[in-house]
Every structure is written in structure tokens, then in C-alpha cells.
Amino acid sequence: MASQHRKPRSAGARVAGIRTPALATAALTSVALLSQTANAAPSDDGKPSLEEVEKKVDDLYRQAESATEKYNAAKEKTTKQRKRTDGLVDDVAQRTQKLNEAREELGSYAAAQYRTGASAPDTAAFLLADTPQDYFDQNQLMSRLTDRQKGAVDDYVTERSATMKQRQEATESLATLTDAQNDLKVAKAAVQKKLGEARELLSRLTAQEKARLAAIEKQRQEEAARKAAELARQQAAEQAAARQESGGASAGTGSSSTAPSTSGSGSGSGSGSEDPSYATKAEKALAFARAQIGKPYVWGATGPDSYDCSGLTQAVWKAAGVTLPRTTYDQVNAGTTVPLADARPGDLIFFYDDVSHVGVYIGNGMMIHAPKPGAYVREESVFYDGESGIHSVVRPA
């Protein structure tokens, strides 16, 4: 997990926005353009307007992605519980074998006593007793046992107690496993329901309406790209200022053509230079991420042929030797939070108040992520759903 590299953070922290008024102006302009393009007037026949359909579809995809993360958590819990249950069942089997061996040894003593005529009734009563320990507490029987026999009795009582305890734990674990499996079914049904509703809405659109939706999406992407470029310029300016303040001592670190893609000015290094160890891991992670571009989003998938959002980021950092948790809810706590302006390639970008989406930052305001059902792993602006959609930035190693 490489937890030794991580610092404690608050799971609810959100990143600060970009410090420029230009983006606010651009955002307002984009809103006006979208309003004009979409023509939101409701239809006379009671059908929802194009914007209403678009918003509903987007909401359904968001809800499906949130349900996907719950599914992932339930699946992970089920897997762990099944492993624990299997271990308990195996342990019960081993302890039962030991219990049988202890019982056989006591049986041999009983047989010997019977042959010699010594205390056969007491031994028979012991073997048939529901609570042998109570019977052994009677001095009359214990005084007739040799040290070896007493040891055998002790072993039997110990194994019987341990076996009964393990059987109880196994029973409880099986019940917990059943609950986890039920949670998994519920989460899976929730995802399928949301995706089905979204597909149903989209299927009702005419070809003209679909074209208009595509035009709106294109405008959004263009606006997101402008914001990404602004972030890249801001990061480059802050890096240049940090290098200047350090008297050029770190000029060799940030002088490459990829300077806008890296930022260490606010990472706590004190000099603006990036941690070589992190940069090396991030380079491996991003190489893997780029190789996944074009693969389909499939909810609950962790590769290698398809991914959901957290499945992709987990696989990306695994390629660099860092183990991340399965879900966005856990990944957001698996590192150090940094401001958006200080994001470096390899950092994880989380979205929405419920932390239901994640992508991996590649520099210049861009990321690689598995967006949503029906889409493919791709490069996209971190502002693909607006600046307000960004929850936090986490450095995982």
C-alpha cells in the first residue's frame, strides 16, 4: 500500500478552485450558449424538453456510477467474508479431527479399564456424559487417572471447547456472508435499473434531438478544454516563480518541455522540485493508463479488457507497484490531499460530493478516466463536468 508515504487527511476536504476570474466569465458564456442551443421550451404534448431528458440521463448515469461503487464495496466485502468463512470451516474440520483423536485415546483407556475390571462404570459414564468436565471434577474419577490419562482428558476438553467456539464463529460468518451477498444483489439491481432507465430515455429521442445533444456535449468539451488550458498556464507560472525563488537551483528539474504537466510548488518540498521517487512511479502508472485508452467502461470491471472508474485507477497504480483500495470511497483516503493547482501527473482526481468518480491526472489540466457506461477509457479535461464537480486531488504514493 506504500502507506509509509502517506499523511493523514480529511475525507471530506474539497480542493480550492482555480484562482482566475477568466474561468467564471467563460463558464457564464458557456451557459448562455447552451441555453440558446438547447431551446428549453417544453413541448405541448407533455413530453420532457431536451434539457430535461439530458439532465435526467446525466443524473441516472451519476446514480448508476454511485451504485457501482456500492456494488464494488459489497463485492469486496463478500470476497473477504467468503475467504474468512472458508478458513473457519477448514479450521473446524481440523479441530474436529483432533477431537476425534482425543476421543479415541480416551476410548482406549476405557477399553483397558474394562479389560482389567477397573472403574468401567465411571469411564463409561464419562464417555456418555454431555458435560465431561463436570464429571472429571469429581475426585473419585480423577484420582483413578494416571498423569497421561489426565493429559488426554485435558486435551479432549480443550479441543471440544475450541471446536465448539470455531463452529459458532463459522455459523456467524456464514450469516454475515449471506448478508453481504444480499447487499451485492441489491447494489447490482440498482445499477441495472438506473442504466435501463437511461437507455430507455435515450431510445425515445429522435435523430434531430440526438444531434442537438451531441452539439451541446461538444460545447461542454470545448469549455472544459479552455479551463484545462488555463490550469496548465497557472501551473506553469507557479513553477517558474518557484524556480526563480530558489535561485535556479532546481532549474534542471523543471526545464523540460513537459513543465506544465508537473507541479511541486505546493507539495511541501519547499523548492518546487518534484519527488523523484513519486515521479518514477507516476511515469509507470501513466504509461499503463495510456495503454488502456479505448477500452470500454463496464461497471464492476477491473481489467484487463474493460474497467469502471476506480477499477482503472487501481490497475494504473498497481502497474507502478502501489496497491490502492477497490472503491473511490477508500481510494480518496489512500494518500495526501493537494490543491488542484498543485496536481502532478499520477495524482487521483475525485469528483462529486459522494466521491463516486475518479480519474488519474496526466498534466495540463487533463486526465485519463473511464467516464460512464457506453463510453470508453479516454483523455479528458478534469473540468469535463464543470469545476464544481471536482471534489479533491489525492497523491497516492
Burial of 76 by CB count in 10 Å (0-12 exposed, 13-18 middle, 19+ buried)?
A: middle
Distances 26 to 20, 23, 129, 380 between C-alpha atoms, Å: 11, 5, 85, 18
Within a 13 Å sphere around the CA of 295, how many CA atoms are in the beta-carbon half? 22
* Residue closest to 11 by CA, chosen among 312, 310, 337: 337
Q: Name residues whose C-beta falls within 8 Å of residue 246's C-beta, 6 or more positions apart in sequence.
A: 271, 272, 273
49 is catalytic: no
| 256: CB partners within 8 A, 6+ apart | none
Consecutive H or E run containing 357: strand 357-363
Q: Which of 160, 194, 369, 395 is flagged as catalytic?
A: 369
Cβ atoms 373, 222 nearer than 8 A: no
Q: Whole-angstrom Cα distance, residue 351 to residue 389?
A: 5
Report which of 299, 278, 287, 301 is spatially closest to residue 347, judged by C-alpha positions.
278
Query: How many H helices and E strands in the chain?
Result: 11, 6
For residue 371 the three cell numbers come to 467516464
357 belongs to the catalytic site: yes
Structure-block grid coordinates of residue 337? 490531499
Question: CA 27 to CA 54: how far, in whole Å?
Answer: 19
Contact predicate 350/9, CB 8 Å: no
- Amino acid, single-letter form, for residue 67: A
| Rounded distance between C-alpha atoms, residue 317 and residue 324, angstroms | 7
309 belongs to the catalytic site: yes
CA 122 to the chain's CA centroid: 61
Q: Exactly one of 57, 145, 309, 358 is catalytic; which is it?
A: 309
The rounded distance, in Å, linking the Cα atoms of 341 and 317 is 22
Bridge partner list, 357: 351
* Residues belonging to the active site: 309, 357, 369
